[in-house]
Copies of this chain bind each other. A is one copy, B any other.
Amino acid sequence: MLRIITQQADVRAELQRICDRTHDEQVHHKEATVREVLQAVKRQGDKAVLHYTAEFDHQTLNPGELRVSGSELDTAYQQVSKDLLEAIRLASRLIEAFHRQRVPKSWVHFGDDDVVLGKRYTPVDRAGLYIPGGRAAYPSTVLMNAIPARVANVPRVVIVTPPGAHKAINPAVLVAAQEAGVQEIYRVGGAQAIAALAYGTETIPKVNVITGPGNIYVTLAKKLVYGTVGIDSLAGPSEVLIIADETANPVHVAADLLAQAEHDPMAAAILLTTDTSLAKNVQVAVERQLIDHPRRIDTEKAIAHYGLIVVVESLEAAAQFSNEFAPEHLELEVEDPWALIQHIRHAGAIFLGHSTPEAVGDYLAGPNHTLPTSGAAHYASALGVETFLKHSSIIQYSETALQKVAGAIDVLATAEGLPSHADSVRRRVQEDE
């Protein structure tokens, strides 16, 4: 049963408990395993990759089988329905269109005395995308990671994904990869896949940036290799926070809460509402929609542990609680969402109005569905084209310009005790040396 509490209860403590749901003490223990895997792959390359694939994924591969072959890529198209292929193509088009908006461009500014300053954007050389396997093998995840990399013009994009039974990869994943322009796919998952991408092996190339969601081992491995490579973020279980007033439809709100809860027993689904009867009606609708839910057990677990309805005094109070929680997904199912959004400061993605269920953003509206979780929206943003770009500062001074600032640099360098800094300028501006 989805609990209802009121603003008089300790809402902050409950929201904090839900936000902190991943910070368990087992993490430190798992880190030892992950460190071992990273070290082994760094030292032994493919041999260690194959060893851990046998141990953790129970698939015995030889090195030649690591890369998904051209014929498997072709065959995948015959294994997905025409409807699914068309849906993947529609999603690809809309995601690409959104990601092509406002891509950072190199620029220079010409100042006085022939000073030129600017930023030059360039893509990383190689990107590695982690795509989970098993129950969570989602073609949408492929599109949301591969399309931004392609829009960034990354010259080489590779995918790693764990093999399922009989070494197979989900054909919808293979089709989505090809539709997004990625042909280089390796059958490896877990921390061993992250290690292979970070250090390189005989078969799998070392990359510069690793993106994509995974289980706790994958996330720990990404954190440990950060600094050797760039990463997108440390993804935790998914979450939605819905702010609704009396204009919201309780059946729709219930479906949106369940659409989050069905992901994972650790998923969080929170409703903040000003309307007591909406609260009760959503509670009833959730129960009803759970009855014949194909993922009932896990979904009920999420609802029981990390589901919550809070009856709040005002929409402003709801916005305040939401800002403290900083949800991955925020739905504003209220009469005037554009008024309410003014009060929102921290959220991964904001879904406005009654016809914008989170699912439309998960699949195809265009914005990225890889979003900061567990409060990270306080400082982080969606994955994007920027994840695969970096910039170099551009500085060009002239003799005249250098002459004008030489005195100031001399004073600063002397104050900082860095004589050669001062010297490198002084020698250039002195008339004879």
Contact = CB atoms under 8 A, between A and B. Distances in A.
B363 A408 contact: yes
B427 A396 contact: no
Contacts of A357: 402, 424-425, 428
Contact of A360 (B140, B261, B395): B395
B364 A405 contact: yes
A255 interface: yes
Nearest to A391: B381
Interface string A406-433: 0111011101111111111101100001
A33 interface: no
A297 interface: no
Interface in A350-392: 350-368, 371-372, 376-382, 390-392
Interface in A165-216: 172, 208-209
Interface stretch (A43-51, A63-71, A79-87, A310-318): A79-87
Q: Is the interface of A mostly helix, strand, loop or mixed?
A: mixed
A87 B402 contact: no
B415 A84 contact: yes
A314 to B, nearest CB: 21
Contacts of A399: 355
Interface in A57-105: 80-81, 83-84, 86-88, 90-91, 98, 101-102
Given A90-B405, A289-B420, A355-B428, A395 B349 contact: yes
Interface string A225-259: 01101100010000000000000010110011011
Contacts of A413: 359, 363
A252 to B, nearest CB: 6
A390 B418 contact: no
A71 to B, nearest CB: 23
Contacts of A29: none
B424 A359 contact: yes
A308 B365 CA distance: 52
Interface size, A (range): 35 or more
Contacts of A366: 117, 395
Given A208-B379, A259-B424, A419-B295, A352 B396 contact: yes
B395 A351 contact: yes
A252 B258 CA distance: 67
A120 interface: yes
A398 interface: yes
Top 8 closest A-B pairs, CB basis?
A230-B379, A367-B393, A349-B393, A255-B424, A258-B420, A352-B396, A87-B408, A357-B424
21 contacts: A122-B346, A124-B378, A138-B416, A139-B412, A223-B223, A226-B234, A230-B376, A252-B424, A258-B420, A262-B421, A344-B392, A346-B392, A349-B395, A350-B394, A351-B395, A353-B397, A356-B402, A357-B425, A361-B393, A363-B408, A367-B395
